[in-house]
Structure 1
Amino acid sequence: MPITFRKSYRILPGVRLNINRKSWSITVGPRNGPKRTWSSTGRTTTSMDLPGGFGWRKTGTRRSRGDS
């Protein structure tokens, strides 16, 4: 079984700093509601918890200025 490292810190109400072995991310949003996450790897995620164990998530990657 691999050894993993993941830690989450609450910076302000509604703002969390998430750290793992390879990257870090900032999540903004309430505990039960829409959230936006920006990762150090360039990934952005928008997610929302829905009633009944359902959820919605959209993930994208950051484009550099040189890309068209």
Structure 2
Amino acid sequence: MPLTFRKSFRILPGVRLNINRRSWSITTGGRHGPHHTRSSNGRRTTSMDLPGPFGWRRTTRRRER
């Protein structure tokens, strides 16, 4: 079983700083409604919890040149 590291800090209401072993990210959005995440490695994710056991997520990556 591999060891993992992940830590999340609340900076302001609705803004979180997430740190893991390889990168960091900023997440904005409240408990209800969409969440927008921008990662240090170029990934952008928009997600939203839907009623019941459902959720929606869209992820895009920065193009490498």
- Name the TM tier (shorter chain): over 0.9
Structure 2, unpaired ranges of 5+: none
- Between the two proteins, what is the percent identity of the paired residues? 74
The two structures have a TM-score, normalised by structure 2, of 0.93
- Provide the aligned length of Structure 1 versus Structure 2: 65
* Deviation string, structure 1 residues 6-32 (Cα, Å, up to 9, x no partner): 000000000000000000000000012
Match of 1:51 in 2: 51
Structure 1, unpaired ranges of 5+: none
Q: Distance in 2 between matches of 1:11 and 1:45?
A: 19
Letter in 1 for 2:46: T
Structure exhibiting the larger radius of gyration computed from Cα positions: 1
Match of 2:31 in 1: 31
C-alpha displacement at 1:63, in angstroms? 3.4
* Deviation string, structure 1 residues 9-60 (Cα, Å, up to 9, x no partner): 0000000000000000000000122000000010000000000010000000
